[in-house]
Chains A and B, each alone.
Chain A
Amino acid sequence: MDVVNIVVTGVGGQGLLTLARLLVESALAKGYDALAAETHGMSQRGGSVIVHVRIGKEVLAPTIPPGFADYILSTELMEAVRNCIYARKDTIVVVNTKIIYPALPGIVEHVSEDEVLKWLKQHIERLYPIPASSIAESLGAPQSTNMVILGAASALLKDYIDLGYLEKAVLKVGRGRLAELNLRAYLQGREIMCREYGVC
C-alpha cells in the first residue's frame, strides 16, 4: 500500500467533517499517517461538500487528483454521481440511496433514485448502495445518516483503520441519547454491509 484515497462527499450539514475526522483518527490509531482536507464557510450551507481523506505511511498532497480515488463514501446519491470524476472503474463506492434536492425552484429536474443507481452501476464495478437515511430515520435519528455510511464503509477499510478505536470514537460524537443513537446507526451500517454484501 502506498496511499489510500477516500473521497467523502454529501450535502453540507450531513456531518461529513465528523465522518472524515473519525477516519483520520482511527487511521492514526492503526499506526498510519493520515489527513483530511476540508472546506468550510460558504460550502457548508447546504451545498455540495467534498472532504479528501488520505491514509498511508507518509501522506504528501492534501487533495486527491481526478481518477485517483480508491473509495467514494457518499451520504447522498447525486453527490456520488457528481464526484465520479475522482473515480476509476474499479473505485469502490458506498452510497446512501436518498436524493436531497436543493431549493432552486424551476431549475432542478426530478429523477428517480433507481435511474441514478442504474447509471452508477454502469460506471462503477463495486457499488454498495445503502438505504442510510431510511435506517437512520427508523432509529429515530435522521441526523445519524453519516454514521450508517461510516459503519458500512468500516468493514471495507479495516486494513487501514482501527475498528476498536472507531467504535469508541463514534460513541463520543454527541451527548447522551444522541451518542447511543449514533453508535446504533454505525452498527446497523456494519450489519447491512455484512448481511447484504458479505463484507463483514
Chain B
Amino acid sequence: MGLRDTLNMSSGKVVLLGNEAIARGAIEAGVALATAYPGTPSTEIVEALAEVARDVGIYVEWSVNEKVAFEIAYSAATAGTRSLVAMKHVGLNVAADPLMSSAYTGVEEGFVIVSADDPSMWSSQNEQDNRIYGLHAYIPVFEPNHPKEAKSLVKEAFEFSARMKHPVIFRSTTRISHTRVVVELESIRSPIRRGTYVKNPKRYVLVPAHARELRVEMLKRWEMISREISKVPLNRIEGEGRVLIVAPGISYAYVKEALRILRLEDKIKLLKLATPVPIPRDMVLKAVEDVEKILVVEELEPVVEQQLKNLLFDEGIRVVVRGKDLVGYPYEMTVDRALKAIAKFLNMSFSMPEPAATQLPKYVFPRPPQLCPGCPYRPLFYVLRKQVDILTSKKGREREPIFCGDIGCYTLGINPPFRVQDTCICMGASIGFANGFARVVHDRIPIAIIGDSTFYHAGIPPLINAVYNNNPLLVIILDNKTTAMTGHQPHPGVGITAMGEQTKAIDLEALVKALGIEWVKVIDPFRVKEAEKTIAEALEYVERERKPAVIISRRLCALVALRRALKAGYERVTYRVSEDKCRGCSVCYSLFACPAIRQKSLEDRRAYIDPELCTGCGVCADICPFNAIVLSKQIDRDEWLKFWS
C-alpha cells in the first residue's frame, strides 16, 4: 500500500515516518493550507500532504523560499483558514521577519509553524536551537517527546493556536522527523476555512501607532499562554522521588531508556515536557515540591534550564539545578550521553558493554557523500578544474579563482579531485560572497556556483546587485530541473506544482538577461569540449570587461533521468572498459572520479566499471584518451540521453 492510501485511511495501526505522522496529524486537525520550501529534515511533511491534497480537499504548495511560504500560510490563518508552514531550522532565519510580526498581530485560525531542527548537523550548516525563536518572538513551542507522539501533538498545537488566536511553533528534530514508527490513525477532520476576508487594519497594518498597542496586547496574550500551556495533555509528571529529572522533547525518550538501564525507573520523579517554551509554570512548581535536586536533560541550548532557574529564583525556591554542566551543549542526545549525565548527577557508577573492537584497522577509509554516477555536476566540475588549472599554469596559483559555493549537492565539489568550493555559508550566499570578493580581491575572479532551485530561492537579489554595482564575477547556475538534495521536489523552473499541476516554467535565460546580464550562455555539461571553451571565454570576458557574466549548465539530475527511463520501460544502460585498449592512464577514475569506475585491482592500473553503479551517462567514454570505454550493449546513445534533458 502506498503512502497516499495509508494517509487516506480513517483508522488502523500503520508505520509512518515521523514527518508523515506530522502530516497526518495536520490532516486529522483539519488543516486546509500547507506551504514549504524543501529542506532536510523537514521535506516529507509537505510532500506527504501534497500526496493526498486532492483527496482531502486541501491546498499544498512548494513556495519559492521559506519567507514566502511563511507569509502565505500566515495570511491564510489571518483569513480564518487553518494553516501549516514547514521548513528546516535555518529556513526559519529566512522567514524570521514575518515570524516576529505574526506574534504581534496574532491570527484568526490555527497557524502551526513546523521547524525541523538538525542536532548533530546530519544535513545542515549549523545546529541552531529554534526553541529560542519562541522566546525571542513570544510564540509558544511544542515539541514531541517521541516520534510516536508527533501526530497527537500537532493536533494539540493546532487547537492551542486556534484557541489563543496566536501562532505556535511545532519543533521537530531529525530523530523525530526521520524515525519510522508505529502510529495509530484517528479520523480525518474536514478542512477548516472561512473563505471570506474580514478587514481589520488596526490589527494587521503594523504602522508604529498600531504596533505599540499590539505589543502590549501580545504581552497580555503571552501571560494567558503561560497559564494555559500547563493543560497540554502531553505534559505530565511521572513517578515520585526527591530527585527530579526534567526532560523536554526527544531527550525524554533517551532519559527513560537510561533510567531503565540503571534500574532507577521508580526511584526518580520525571517531568515530561512537550512545551519547552514557555515552560508550564504551574506544573513545574508542582513537580519541584519536596525535591532536593534537579537535573535538566536537553539537547543543544539550555532553553528549559534557564527558564526553570528564573522561575525558581523568582519564587524563592532554593534547590540545586544541574543541566548543561553535566549534559554538554553540542550534538544530539544519545542513550549513553543521558546515562553518563544521570550517573554523574547521582554519584553512581555504571559500565557500558565491552565493545567487539576498541580499534578499527587502518585501512578503513572515509566515505563522505559524493556526486552520484551520471551526475551532470561531475563533468562540469571536471571541465572547470581543468580550465582553472590551465589558467593558473600560465598566471600562477595565486590567481586561481575563488569558488563561492552554495547549498545543494554541488557542495560535494569540495572533495578532490575537483576542489571547487572555497566557501559555503547559506542559501544564496555564493553570489553574495562573489559580490564582496569582486570588490576586495583584485587578482582572483570570484566564481559563484549555485543550483537552479537555490537561485530562485535567494540568488536573484545578489545577481541584481552585481549588475547594479557593476561587480565583475562569473555565476554558474547548475540547472538540473529539480531540488535534488532534498529528494527531487519541483521548483519554479520546472513547470509543475507540488499538487502535480502543469504551470509556466520560468525562462531562466530570459530572467538573467532581464536583470541586465550582458554575457549569458547555456552549456550542456555532457559536451565536454564545448563546455571547456565556454568557461574559458566567460573568464576572459569577466577579466577584460570587468562585468558580471552567467553560464547556465543544463542537464537533468541523474536520479530523475534514470527514474524516467525505467518508468518508460527501458533497462539501465551501462558502459564497460575494453581491456585491450585501456592503458591505465587513470583519467576516468582519478580526474573524472566517477564512483562507478575504479582501478581494476591492486596491481592492474586499468579501469573497471561497476555495473551495479554505472548509469550510462557516457561522459567517461568521451574523455577517455584511448577510446577504451564502450557501451555494454548496442543502443542509440541519443535515445538514452533524451531522458536526461
Interface residues of A (CB under 8 A from B): 11-13, 20-21, 24-25, 28, 33-48, 60-68, 78-79, 81-82, 84-85, 87-89, 91, 100-112, 115-116, 119, 123-124, 133, 136-137, 142-143, 145, 172, 178
Contacts and interface: CB of A to CB of B under 8 A. Distances in A.
Given A62-B147, A84-B355, 12 more contacts: A36-B180, A45-B369, A46-B595, A47-B370, A48-B367, A61-B253, A63-B334, A68-B353, A104-B366, A136-B612, A142-B611, A142-B612
Contact of A12 (B178, B369, B591): B369
Contacts of A87: 355-357
A116 B336 CA distance: 29
B93 to A, nearest CB: 18
A125 B542 CA distance: 64
B89 interface: no
Interface of B: 1, 13, 15, 17, 40-41, 43, 122-123, 146-147, 174-175, 178-182, 250, 253-254, 256-257, 260, 334-336, 339, 352-357, 360-372, 409, 412, 415-417, 485-487, 566, 586, 589-591, 593-595, 597-599, 601-602, 610-613
18 contacts: A35-B180, A35-B181, A40-B40, A45-B412, A46-B595, A47-B367, A60-B260, A62-B253, A67-B353, A81-B360, A89-B354, A103-B593, A104-B368, A105-B593, A106-B590, A109-B362, A142-B612, A145-B612
B417 A105 contact: yes
A144 to B, nearest CB: 10
Contacts of A124: 356
Contacts of A142: 611-612
**Most chain B C-beta atoms within 10 Å of own C-beta, residue among A20, A84, A105, A119:** A105
A45 to B, nearest CB: 4
Contacts of B595: 46, 102-103
Contacts of B13: 28
A104 B416 contact: yes
A110 B608 CA distance: 14
Nearest to A119: B361
Given A47-B369, A78-B365, A88-B356, A41 B250 contact: no
Contacts of A65: 334-336, 339, 352
A110 B363 CA distance: 8
B154 to A, nearest CB: 18
A81 B364 CA distance: 8
B395 to A, nearest CB: 26
- Smallest CB-CB A-B distances: 5 pairs: A41-B123, A41-B40, A47-B369, A67-B353, A142-B612
A112 B256 CA distance: 44
B612 A63 contact: no
A63 B369 contact: no
Contacts of B336: 65-66
Contacts of B146: 60
A102 B356 contact: no
A140 B40 CA distance: 34
A102 B370 contact: yes
Contacts of B41: 40-41
A63 B179 CA distance: 9
Contacts of A81: 360-361, 364
Nearest to A101: B598
Nearest to A59: B181
A53 B182 CA distance: 13
Nearest to A47: B369
B360 A40 contact: no
B356 A46 contact: no
B369 A39 contact: no
Given A41-B40, A60-B257, A91-B356, A107 B366 contact: yes
A78 B362 CA distance: 12
A94 to B, nearest CB: 15
**Most chain A C-beta atoms within 10 Å of own C-beta, residue among B182, B367, B368, B611:** B367
Contacts of A41: 40-41, 122-123, 485-486
A116 B363 CA distance: 9
A135 B536 CA distance: 48
A62 B179 contact: yes
A138 B162 CA distance: 59
**Most chain A C-beta atoms within 10 Å of own C-beta, residue among B1, B41, B595:** B595
A89 B13 CA distance: 36
Nearest to A37: B179
Nearest to B121: A42
B215 to A, nearest CB: 39
A178 B369 CA distance: 27
A59 to B, nearest CB: 8
Contacts of A109: 362-363, 365
Given A13-B372, A62-B147, A119-B361, A39 B366 contact: no
Contact of A24 (B15, B260, B613): B15
Nearest to B338: A61
A43 B335 contact: no
Contacts of A123: 356-357
A89 B358 CA distance: 11
Nearest to B39: A41
A78 B364 contact: yes
A37 B365 contact: no
B355 A85 contact: yes
